[in-house]
Amino acid sequence: MRRTVRLLGVWTLGLAMLSLGCNRGGSNGVAIVTEPEASGPVLTPVEAKGYGTITGVVTFDGTPPLMKPIAMGDHPHAPHCQSKDLMDESWVVNPTNRGVANVVVWVKPPKGSFFPLPPDAQKTWTDEVHMDQPKCAFTPRVVTMFPEYYDAQANKLRSTSQLLVIRNDSPVVHSAEILGSIAQNSSQITTIPAKVPGGKPSEQAFRLKSDRNVMTVNCSLHRWMRGFVWAFDHPYSAVTDANGRFEIKHVPAGSELTFSVWHEQGQLSVPKTGQPITVPADGTLNLPLTIQMPAPLPTPPMPMLDPAGSPDAKSK
């Protein structure tokens, strides 16, 4: 079964990011933000009639944007950062197959339902998700996580104990500031010391919550550094690789799910605000996708001026 979905980018007009404060890691090196336990109507589990796989390639439609060097000015760390040929990675497009990297894809359960915690035999997630800072940039730039799952018996979210670990493998000091939703992931910021020559990388671990919004990761010492984290309450997500390819394994089959897509350069939409899909049992659903550069916002017309310098009455 093959299905092609065309994605059209639109500008995100604004994003308000508020924080209630910051927490630093304790003696165990884990920064923890607490929130009230989930409550509300009890959800019903998605009935899995077997399991399948979702694969695909996200390709760029049109002339791919060029990656540009990052301007650092007279920043004291510029000699180190520029020695790594640092480029703006807002768009990373493979010149051979036009595959787009750093696109996040995931599925949503039907309304009022949830994905049960998969058995150990179907575990696809790791205990830690890593981001490194070897070249004054977050590598990888985009990651997905599965930090929580829904416990129907307790009617609340429980932790999977998965951690986000940010490492500093460079000879210059960095910081990590994570901004998410106030209720789920309020501001966390910490300094990550430079790597000691011949030593191990410095690192900081963060325990996050599942979040309906994307989280940003910034370095307050190098303002051009930017990363993104999507944290779900299920493991059915993926980030496209350098060739634009993705794979989501062990997806519950037989139920109509919603396929969702995100890229940092704009809010991407699929037809009917989310493509409905049904994964075949013991099979593969292939979804080749295309993405375009968002169209620029129209420039508002400037008012005409009369010779005296005041707006022309005809332009009012």
In a structure prediction context, what are the per-residue pLDDT tens digits for the chain, which is 316 residues long? 444 444 443 323 222 332 333 333 333 333 333 333 445 678 999 999 999 999 999 999 888 888 999 888 888 888 888 776 789 999 999 999 999 999 999 999 999 999 999 998 899 999 999 999 988 999 999 999 999 999 999 999 999 999 999 999 989 999 999 999 988 998 898 999 999 888 899 999 999 999 999 999 999 999 999 999 999 999 999 999 999 999 999 999 999 999 999 999 854 544 434 789 999 999 999 998 888 877 776 777 767 666 565 555 555 5
Is the separation of the CB atoms in 63 and 267 below 8 Å? no
Domain span including residue 280: 5-64+101-295
The answer as to whether 55 is a domain residue is: yes
Q: Residue 277 and residue 118: Cα distance in Å, rounded?
A: 20
pLDDT at 308: 63
Please give the tally of structural domains in the chain. Answer: 1
Task: Report pTM.
Answer: 0.80
**In Å, what is the CA distance from 94 to each residue of 6, 91, 128, 141, 241?**
19, 10, 28, 16, 10
Q: Judge whether 310 lies within some domain.
A: no
Check residue 5 and give its pLDDT: 42
CATH number for the domain that contains residue 163: 2.60.40.420
Q: What is the pLDDT of residue 313?
A: 53
Say how far apart CA 162 and CA 299 lie, in whole Å. 45
Give 207-234 pLDDT, tens digit per residue: 999 999 999 999 999 999 999 999 999 9
| 91 found inside a domain | no
Residue 69 falls inside a structural domain: no
DSSP bridge pairs for 278: 256
Q: Residue 6 corresponds to which tokens in the numbers above?
A: 């065309």
Inside any domain, residue 201: yes
5 bridge partner residues: 289
Considering the domain boundaries, does residue 169 fall inside one?
yes
